[in-house]
Structure 1
């Protein structure tokens, strides 16, 4: 029979590992949903740069977490999310975006189309670092029937640079004196600010659609 203290230790280890897995899955899921499920159009900040930076900080302050597992998973989630967005854009097309978007979103989409037409292959890479372009460029590329291999390569470069890069920036920012000790507070600030800005974006978009139901 296991000693009570040994059993407690095993249970603590189990919950610790489960918590680690959940943390990875939540971060990866949000990154994927940002473009793959179009969630980033309504909560752009919580699925973007702030999330990765905050996740890197938390990882630096939590010995059970591995920054390389987190960062590589983020890169993969970002890559797959954009691929899904590209495929949906190709099959659903512009009419779907017009039906789902209010006046404010339509202006953003127009900017994204101009951005995509100006930069082509590089637009997919650069868009990863631009909140208003991140969600829509894969869709616009799909609608515009961009060559699949070109999108695949540009998506890979962008997902790697953004997903892995920003996660590592957050992680190594903890090496600055005082940052690691306050990592959870800083991460909480970024996430809270992201939620507030995301709610504001959703409210503004909903109000625009109610005021302009014909659009």
Structure 2
């Protein structure tokens, strides 16, 4: 597959073309580049990457597990730091000028998460919430989260998120025969499952905003 034919929103395409390097680039962008992060696979890249590490072809792994683990951790942590710095330097201005309703909603939700759980817990929990993690780190910078606090807990969250999903995929690939043949189906299932928390939150928000009857 040539680079020009790669679909960056398709995890199977990214992994086939770039392997572990694709994991690094996508996790970096999704964790820190708020404009493009919404459209990139995260959970749906890490789990299939782990699955492919467990598959063998002529007794040789298709991707090395240690490379995927390292690339996932580096991409997640470095991307989070870049997002934090971007948010600190221009996050409030961007939110004030943007007309993107979804971006404003995600930023408001990130602020709510930081207020409800505290900075440390929010930075760890937010890593596991699709779409929110793309805005959480810039929002933390814009809202003045201390650099030391952010660096510590964003690193903990990034490592836990990336390593747990890759290892979950690896365990699945090692225990289920020929599951690598169904990566596309598995990605579709993961996309649906990743949207469930968002749908629950939207429904809860609408219920809160709905005026009481009578």
Band of TM-score, shorter chain: 0.7 to 0.9
Partner of 2:69: 71
Q: Residues 124 and 158 of structure 1 are in contact (CA less than 8 Å); yes or no, is this contact kept in structure 2?
A: yes
Partner of 2:164: 165
- What TM-score results when the alignment is normalised by the length of structure 1? 0.72
Q: How many residues align?
A: 174
- Say if 2:213 is the partner of 1:182: no
Partner of 2:54: 60
- Structure number with greater Rg is 1
Partner of 1:135: 134
- Say if 2:30 is the partner of 1:31: no
Q: What SS does structure 2 have at the residue aligned with 1:135?
A: helix
Flag the 1:189–1:99 CA change in 2: closer, same or farther, 3 A: farther
Separation in 1 of the partners of 2:52 and 2:102?
34
Separation in 2 of the partners of 1:149 and 1:32?
20
Q: What SS does structure 1 have at the residue aligned with 2:107?
A: helix
Structure 1: any 5+ residue segments left out of the alignment? Answer: 1-18, 197-215
Structure 2: any 5+ residue segments left out of the alignment? Answer: 1-14, 193-214
Separation in 2 of the partners of 1:128 and 1:161?
9
Partner of 2:112: 114
Partner of 2:92: 94
Which range is displaced more, 60-69 or 78-87? 60-69
Q: What SS does structure 1 have at the residue aligned with 2:41?
A: coil
Separation in 2 of the partners of 1:134 and 1:58?
25
**1:32 Cα deviation (Å)?**
0.6
Separation in 1 of the partners of 2:128 and 2:160?
9
Greater than 6 Å deviation, 4+ residue runs: 193-196
**1:114 Cα deviation (Å)?**
0.8
CA RMSD, Structure 1 to Structure 2 (Å): 2.6
**Structure 2 counterparts to residues 139-158 of structure 1, below 5 A:** 139-158=138-157
Q: What SS does structure 2 have at the residue aligned with 1:174?
A: helix
Using CA pairs under 8 Å that are at least 6 residues apart, name the structure with larger relative contact order, 1 or 2: 1
Partner of 2:124: 125
Partner of 1:5: none
